[in-house]
């Protein structure tokens, strides 16, 4: 068990078995908790399994096939458990195995030709050997070096994928192996392991053997030690490879896999990233790769014989299709030749470009492009070849593609005859009795044409050639420009993404990363929205009031919550509204923003003065940009009304009680200003507020209010309210005079605001005395 707690844990079944005087290995392996106990390093179990007899029995379960009449446990469970015990990487068990030559000989006896090599046991054998390679590298490599026939046996069984993986790791063609054991690998460079591997192309007709052979050699081109890498790039090795590939009697899989090795030699990163990397390189026309010039020269020696295989005139095999028939089909080997030439052109070798022109390789490949209009794999490679020729530094290659191959004329001809021609000697022909379908290469022709125009803007030779063809100009103005406008996804009204080339994912679950939503701004907006009750009903107002008393730290909104809200709100997003959840703008109006919006949208609304003088000063400072006319209109509508509901009780100035929720009030009738009571103001016993009466009785002027005057007026109004609310006397009548302490408080508040001059302060004090008298 993983835990040992006195009084709580029960005895392990493995311990129960070990307590017996006589027990068998089968009984122990049949116990379900044995692997768990090995990982927990049960000392009694480890000591028992570390014995030579026990290790030998475990090895036999792995390397020896069970008898036909054996139980299923012997056939399946015991070999699996034995393999798992070794891969638990218990040092004493691995040490017993790797330091005993008899046990190592028993382990590698699995490779003997007279033994059966089932895939199940081969997988267990591979896991144990790789575990020894990783944990006991030194002694393991010493044993293999002393018994080099093991390498030959591994090569003979290279058709089994598990054995191929052992061979790749053994010869150092693994990027994670032997960083600290370079010396132990030097002896492998002196063997003829590469020759033994490449000769499997001629000694076996199995496609699995050819595929695994190519995979092993490609791994060597990427990660092998310097000695093996230099040997595989030599012209002699390349010649030996093509000798096997071009034999007439050999299967086509030999040629296909041999060319895969050549492609890996020219561009090692191409194969290592798989099909997705190859496709992206074709779409983006990746930068030129560098290759060993001797390697390129070795490949060019067999280029002529290789190009002869592109001739399809003598082939007679027929392949029926949904659109017609192919006679003959293109085939994997021809497609691989085209891919090889596309990579060869990216190397930028002048010798390779000259050879390709002399042999007419580019012209033959362009003909294949139009002869097989539905083979998109072929079209991808041909597009790469054409763009490499147009972007080449060699002017002869550009002249060859434009003039000798007449590629522009073939584009115009294909656009005119955009349906599959019937009754021709081409390999692709339509089905009889059906209307010929549209050719499938229009998309690639469009992209190549746009690339021609783009390169022509920077290359006078290409531009002059295009301008010299009148049909091209007419086709560009009437067809290509309209087609580009239709296919411009950024102009589509359905909301298609504008950066399709950035999409390299396999799942729609990653689409959230491509959205234009600012999650941080969304979280802030939503937090404030729920805090201020935008999505709440009137019944929930009390909960909203309580939320105002929380700190900002209490309002937490993470990216996952934002994603949930996006999913629930995106369909109900009101596009006609001026604010949106999915924007960076702060679309909530707080405090002074609500005042401004209320004043602009309704002439009958007025903001309630804050019970805190400092908050009132901030509101006044933010309202500098309001005009005099708006202030006068607001003053005309602001009168008292005994019908208004009483607001929550406000605290006097100087208290530290949190701000209460203040509800907005609008006038019931804008035409009757006497029915309006300013929000938050308490009605006096006489029914009129002195300050409001003085303001309403004073005539309105059209003089523009300056910044300082507007600030002082707002401040005086708020201070007078604070004094009236905070006074011990419930109502201040008209006959009462302000006390000296109130006047000093006004001066202190004006000093906090920081008036522009002493003259302004004096004027303010004078105005207070006049209103109070």
293-333 pLDDT per residue, tens: 899 999 999 999 999 999 988 777 889 999 889 989 999 99
pLDDT of 596 higher than 90: no
| DSSP type of residue 422 | S
pLDDT of residue 335: 96
Among 92-96, 717-721, 737-741, name the most confident range.
92-96
pLDDT of residue 636: 47
Task: Report d(CA 621, CA 361) in Å as an integer.
Answer: 79
- All residues at 6 or more sequence positions from 638 whose CB lies less than 8 Å from its CB, including other chains: 606, 673, 676, 678, 692, 695
pLDDT of residue 482: 92
**Is 216 within a domain?**
no
| DSSP type of residue 511 | G
Partnered with residue 419 across adjacent β-strands are 438
- What band does 168 get if pLDDT is binned at 50, 70 and 90? very high
pLDDT of residue 568: 53
Lowest-confidence region among 117-131, 211-225, 562-576? 562-576
Percentage of the chain with pLDDT > 90?
A: 44
- What band does 190 get if pLDDT is binned at 50, 70 and 90? confident
pLDDT, average across residues 266-277: 56
Sheet holding 324-326, edge to edge: 319-320, 324-326, 428-430
**In whole angstroms, how far apart are CA 204 and each of 217, 244, 247, 254?**
16, 11, 13, 10
Task: Report d(CA 186, CA 231) in Å as an integer.
Answer: 14
Nearest CA to 122 among 27, 212, 25?
212
**Is 47 within a domain?**
yes
- What band does 756 get if pLDDT is binned at 50, 70 and 90? very low
CB contact at 8 A, 549 and 658: yes
pLDDT of residue 30: 93
Cα 628 → chain centroid: 56
Task: Report d(CA 492, CA 498) in Å as an integer.
Answer: 9
What is the SS3 assignment for 423?
coil
pLDDT of 163 higher than 60: yes
pLDDT of residue 154: 96
Instruction: Output the average pLDDT for the chain.
Output: 73
Q: Is 142 exposed, middle or buried (0-12, 13-18, 19+ CB in 10 A)?
A: middle
pLDDT, average across residues 645-660: 45
Last residue in a domain, options 392, 426, 453: 453
- What band does 159 get if pLDDT is binned at 50, 70 and 90? very high
pLDDT of residue 643: 42
Q: Which residue has the higher pLDDT, 453 or 573?
A: 453
pLDDT of residue 487: 86
Helix/strand/coil percent split, the chain, to 5: 60, 0, 40
- All residues at 6 or more sequence positions from 741 whose CB lies less than 8 Å from its CB, including other chains: none
Whether the predicted model's global pTM rises above the 0.75 cut: no
**Is 601 within a domain?**
no
pLDDT of residue 187: 85
pLDDT of residue 175: 61
Structure tokens at 140: 């393991």
pLDDT of residue 386: 95
460-519: per-residue pLDDT in tens?
999 999 999 999 999 999 999 999 998 887 777 775 554 554 455 444 444 444 444 455
With tokens 């267990």, the residue in question is 124
Cβ count near 122 (within 10 Å): 22
CB contact at 8 A, 244 and 288: no
pLDDT of residue 274: 40
Rg (CA), the chain: 44
Lowest-confidence region among 61-65, 185-189, 602-606, 763-767? 602-606
- What band does 340 get if pLDDT is binned at 50, 70 and 90? very high
pLDDT of 753 higher than 90: no
pLDDT of residue 315: 78
Task: Report d(CA 541, CA 547) in Å as an integer.
Answer: 10
pLDDT, average across residues 676-698: 42
pLDDT of 530 higher than 90: no
Nearest CA to 264 among 337, 215, 212, 224?
215
Structural domain of 351: 292-453
pLDDT of 740 higher than 50: no
Task: Report d(CA 414, CA 449) in Å as an integer.
Answer: 12
Last residue in a domain, options 146, 179, 196: 146
pLDDT, average across residues 438-460: 93
pLDDT of residue 48: 94
Lowest-confidence region among 190-204, 279-293, 399-413, 566-580? 566-580
Q: Which residue has the higher pLDDT, 356 or 718?
A: 356
Structure tokens at 509: 């679950």
Among 26-40, 581-595, 699-713, 714-728, name the most confident range.
26-40
pLDDT of residue 489: 77
- Helix H or strand E encompassing 299: helix 293-300
pLDDT of 178 higher than 70: no
pLDDT, average across residues 69-95: 95
- What band does 626 get if pLDDT is binned at 50, 70 and 90? very low
Specify the number of domains making up the chain.
2
What is the SS3 assignment for 98?
helix
Cα 419 → chain centroid: 40
pLDDT of 703 higher than 90: no
pLDDT of residue 172: 78
pLDDT of 537 higher than 70: no
pLDDT of 716 higher than 80: no
**Is 234 within a domain?**
no
Percentage of the chain with pLDDT > 70?
A: 58
**Is 590 within a domain?**
no
**Is 694 within a domain?**
no
- What band does 574 get if pLDDT is binned at 50, 70 and 90? very low
**Is 393 within a domain?**
yes
Last residue in a domain, options 431, 453, 475: 453
**Is 270 within a domain?**
no
pLDDT of residue 492: 74
């Amino acid at each position: 068990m993983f835990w040992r707690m006195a009084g709580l844990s029960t005895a392990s079944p493995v311990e129960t078995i070990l307590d017996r005087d006589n027990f068998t290995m089968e009984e122990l392996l049949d116990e379900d908790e044995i692997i768990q106990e090995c990982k927990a390093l049960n000392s009694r179990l480890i000591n028992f399994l570390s014995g030579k007899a026990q290790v030998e029995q475990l090895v036999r379960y792995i390397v020896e096939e069970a008898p036909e009449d054996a139980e299923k446990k012997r056939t399946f469970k015991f070999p699996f458990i034995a393999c798992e015990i070794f891969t638990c990487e218990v040092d004493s068990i691995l040490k017993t195995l790797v330091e005993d030559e008899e046990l190592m000989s028993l382990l590698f006896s699995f490779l003997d030709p007279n033994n059966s090599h089932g895939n199940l046991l081969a997988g267990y054998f591979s896991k144990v050997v790789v575990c020894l390679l990783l944990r006991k590298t030194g002694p393991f490599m010493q044993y293999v070096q002393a018994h080099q026939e093991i390498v030959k046996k591994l090569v003979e069984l290279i058709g089994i994928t598990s054995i191929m993986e052992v061979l790749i790791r053994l010869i150092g063609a693994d990027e994670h192996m032997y960083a600290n054991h370079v010396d132990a690998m030097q002896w492998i460079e002196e063997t003829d392991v590469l020759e033994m591997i490449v000769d499997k192309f001629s000694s076996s007709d199995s496609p699995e053997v050819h595929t695994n052979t190519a995979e092993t050699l490609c791994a060597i081109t990427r990660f092998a030690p310097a000695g093996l890498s230099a040997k595989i790039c030599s012209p002699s090795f390349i010649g030996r490879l093509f000798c096997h590939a071009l034999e007439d009697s050999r299967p086509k899989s030999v040629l296909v896999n041999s060319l895969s090795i050549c492609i890996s030699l020219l561009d090692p990163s191409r194969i290592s990233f798989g099909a997705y990397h190859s496709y992206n390189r074709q779409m983006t026309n990746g930068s030129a790769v560098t290759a060993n010039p001797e390697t390129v020269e070795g490949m060019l020696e067999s280029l002529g014989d290789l190009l002869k295989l592109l001739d399809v005139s003598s082939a007679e095999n027929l392949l029926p299709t949904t659109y017609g028939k192919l006679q003959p089909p293109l085939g994997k080997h021809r497609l691989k030749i085209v891919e090889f030439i596309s990579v060869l052109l990216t190397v930028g070798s002048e010798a390779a470009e000259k050879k390709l022109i002399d042999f007419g390789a580019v012209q033959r490949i362009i003909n294949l492009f139009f002869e097989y209009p539905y083979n998109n794999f072929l079209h991808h490679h041909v597009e790469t070849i054409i763009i490499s020729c147009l972007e080449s530094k060699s002017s002869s290659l550009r002249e060859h593609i434009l003039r000798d191959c007449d590629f522009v004329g073939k584009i115009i001809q294909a656009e005119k005859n955009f349906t599959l021609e019937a009754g021709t000697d081409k390999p692709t022909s339509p089905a009889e009795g059906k209307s010929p379908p549209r050719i499938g290469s229009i998309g690639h022709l469009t992209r190549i044409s746009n690339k021609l125009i783009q390169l022509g803007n920077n290359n006078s030779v290409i531009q002059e050639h295009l301008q010299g063809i009148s049909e091209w100009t007419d086709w560009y103005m009437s067809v290509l420009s309209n087609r580009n406008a239709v296919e411009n996804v950024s102009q589509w009204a359905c909301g298609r993404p504008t950066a399709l080339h950035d999409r390299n994912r396999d799942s729609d679950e990653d689409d959230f990363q491509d959205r234009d939503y600012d999650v941080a701004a969304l979280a802030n907006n939503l937090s404030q929205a729920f805090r201020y009750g935008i999505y709440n009903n009137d019944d929930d107002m009390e909960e909203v009031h309580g939320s105002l008393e929380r700190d900002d730290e209490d309002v937490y909104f993470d990216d996952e919550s934002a994603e949930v809200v996006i999913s629930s709100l995106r369909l109900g997003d009101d596009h006609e509204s001026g604010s949106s959840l999915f924007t960076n703008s702060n679309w909530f109006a707080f405090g002074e923003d609500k005042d401004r919006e209320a004043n602009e949208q309704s002439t009958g609304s007025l903001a309630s003065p804050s019970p805190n003088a400092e908050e009132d000063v901030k509101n006044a400072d933010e309202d500098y940009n309001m005009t005099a006319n708006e202030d006068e209109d607001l003053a005309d509508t602001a009168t008292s009304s005994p019908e208004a509901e009483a607001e929550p009780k406000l605290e006097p100035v100087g208290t530290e009680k949190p701000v209460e929720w203040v509800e907005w009030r609008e006038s019931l009738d804008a035409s009757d200003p006497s029915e309006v009571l300013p929000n938050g103001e308490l009605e006096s016993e006489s029914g009129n507020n002195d300050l409001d009466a003085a303001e309403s009785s004073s005539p309105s002027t059209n003089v523009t209010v300056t910044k300082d005057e507007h600030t002082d007026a707002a401040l005086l109004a708020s201070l007078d309210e604070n004094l009236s609310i905070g006074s011990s006397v419930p109502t201040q009548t008209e006959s009462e005079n302000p006390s000296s302490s109130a006047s000093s408080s006004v001066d202190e508040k004006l000093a906090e605001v920081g008036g522009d001059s002493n003259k302004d302060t004096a004027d303010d004090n004078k105005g207070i005395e006049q209103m109070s008298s």
